[in-house]
Amino acid sequence: MSTDQGTDRPDRLAALVALVDSRAARCGATKLVAVDGPSGSGKTTLAADLAAELAAPTVHMDDLYPGWDGLADSLERVREWVLGPLLAGHPVRYRRWDWATSRYAGWVQLPATEVVVLEGCGAGAAVGAEHLSVLVWVEADAAVRHARGVGRDPGFAPYWDRWAAQERELFALDGTRSRADVLIDTTGDRRS
């Protein structure tokens, strides 16, 4: 496991791309890269940058969670809609959660590619650990994460503590951070 605290973004991305390139596909013919960590840590920003560098599509866990109490339940969606198709040699196909109506909406299908990025809390959970080519853990100080999360989505504020409890429970049971290939602390990053 390597640790990245304050590395310049271009260097960080180059190192991650090199790591992904060096790894074998473990989810059928696909390299599945998980970017996990607690809310507000900078996962989405890092995943977007990494996916752009790898020309890879991204599945956002936010699209799979069945509501504010659905972190644990989303892991079955990962198994069914991400891992299952990739292991069978098919593209990822999933239903996107509509947060406004509190139900799953239309289907999304990703193109068949050599690399898929799975981003969000629970992306690196043990349910799919054996199929990950790379697991990146992203973290930041709690106050920084809260400011980012609520600043990005003010509607998250009333659910922050409830969601954080689910994260802590999953991460404690799962040991996600301890299994990560790379740890990235984004506390000092301006764009996370």
Cβ atoms of residues 80 and 88 within 8 Å: no
Tell me the whole-structure pTM to 2 decimals.
Answer: 0.94
Question: For residue 18, what is the enclosing H or E element?
Answer: helix 9-22
Q: Where are any strands of DSSP class E within the chain?
A: 2-5, 31-36, 58-60, 93-98, 103-109, 115-119, 132-139, 182-185
Domain boundaries, the chain: 2-185
> How large is the C-alpha radius of gyration of the chain?
16
Instruction: Tell me what pLDDT residue 33 has.
Output: 98
Q: Within a 10 A sphere around the Cβ of 2, how many other Cβ atoms? A: 11
pLDDT tens for each residue of 16-61: 999 999 999 999 999 999 999 999 999 999 999 999 999 999 999 9
10, pLDDT greater than 80: no
Q: Evaluate if residue 180 carries a pLDDT over 90.
A: yes
| pLDDT for residue 2 is more than 90 | no
Q: How far is CA 26 from CA 32, 88, 154, in A?
A: 7, 12, 38
List pLDDT tens digits, range 65-118.
999 999 999 999 999 999 999 999 999 999 999 999 999 999 999 988 999 999
| Domain 2-185 class in CATH | alpha beta
Q: How far apart are alpha carbons 118 and 82 in whole angstroms?
A: 9
Output the pLDDT for position 13. Answer: 94
